[in-house]
Amino acid sequence: EVQLVESGGGLVQPGGSLRLSCAASGFTFSNYWMKWVRQAPGKGLEWVANIKEDESEKYYVDSVKGRFTISRDNAKNSVYLQMNSLRVEDTAVYYCARDSGLDYWGQGTLVTVSS
Amino acid sequence: QAVVTQEPSLTVSPGGTVTLTCGSSTGAVSRGHRPFWLQQKPGQAPTTLIYNVDIKHSWTPARFSGSLLGGKAALTLSGAQPEDEADYYCLLLYSGPWVFGGGTRLTVL
């Protein structure tokens, strides 16, 4: 059974950092692009970042460029989102998803940026 | 980055048919944009119904279909059921970055 489990969310002050993790199981992780998508409270979905199977390609939404870094460890079947210089507007539930028709999603982890 | 537009809200009668659309600020939506359609119900993670214009996942009810229509991506629901009441999002690819539409709240009433 394919599973994606996010972790690492929490409350952080503006300007702070968090590292989100997404642990994958039930499939050959190294064969798939992965995505991070977020959803601010009461708002729509926003694509955040993508990473290719071998990390050779990474893409980011403009609002996080230079602050967020997507990475992966295929030996640990995990994808990460390092978030620095966090802003209030980064408050959201962060989902990871398998980029094969976006067929599998995690349940999300909540990041709250507030003083 | 590009802006993807969707109807903010639509209403359909039970058993009725409705079409949701997805437009792009850069021009006509094409297969190259690999349009996705996702459904999200309150308190739940999204579920992908359609990808690459018209390909369904195994769990996608047959009453949902995707197409390109008049320069936009379209999601047609034929024979709406009460459980189809949800938010629907389209997602387009722009040569690397992806962009979601703002979502359509579909009411079955």
Residue of A nearest to B4 (CA): A46
Q: pLDDT for B15-59, tens place per residue?
A: 999 999 999 999 999 999 999 999 999 999 999 999 999 999 999
Within chain A, which residues score under 50 in pLDDT? Answer: none
What is residue B95's predicted lDDT score, i.e. its pLDDT? 85
Q: pLDDT for B52-102, tens place per residue?
A: 999 999 999 999 999 999 999 999 999 999 999 999 999 999 988 999 999
| Tokens 């999200």, located at residue | B40
| CA distances from residue B99 to A7, A82, A104, B89, B107 in whole angstroms, order as listed | 24, 21, 18, 10, 24
Tokens of A44: 């729509």
Pairwise CB contact (< 8 Å): A45 & B99: no
What is residue A100's predicted lDDT score, i.e. its pLDDT? 86
Give the Cα separation of A36 and A51 in Å (integer). Answer: 9
Count the residues in chain B.
Answer: 109
| CA distances from residue A86 to A20, A47, A65, B75 in whole angstroms, order as listed | 13, 17, 12, 36
Pairwise CB contact (< 8 Å): A105 & B89: no
What is residue B96's predicted lDDT score, i.e. its pLDDT? 83
Residue of A nearest to B97 (CA): A59
Pairwise CB contact (< 8 Å): B98 & A50: yes
Pairwise CB contact (< 8 Å): A35 & B36: no
Of A37, A46, A103, the CB nearest to B57: A103
Least Cα separation, residue B8 to chain A (angstroms): 11
Residues in chain B whose Cβ is within 8 Å of chain A: 1, 36, 38, 40, 45-48, 51-52, 55, 57, 87, 89, 91, 96-103
Chain B residues with beta carbon closer than 8 angstroms to that of A96:
none
What is residue B1's predicted lDDT score, i.e. its pLDDT? 82
Average pLDDT over residues B11-15: 97
Q: Where are the beta strands (DSSP E) in chain A?
A: 3-7, 10-12, 18-25, 34-39, 45-51, 58-60, 68-73, 78-83, 92-98, 104-105, 109-113
Least Cα separation, residue A74 to chain B (angstroms): 22
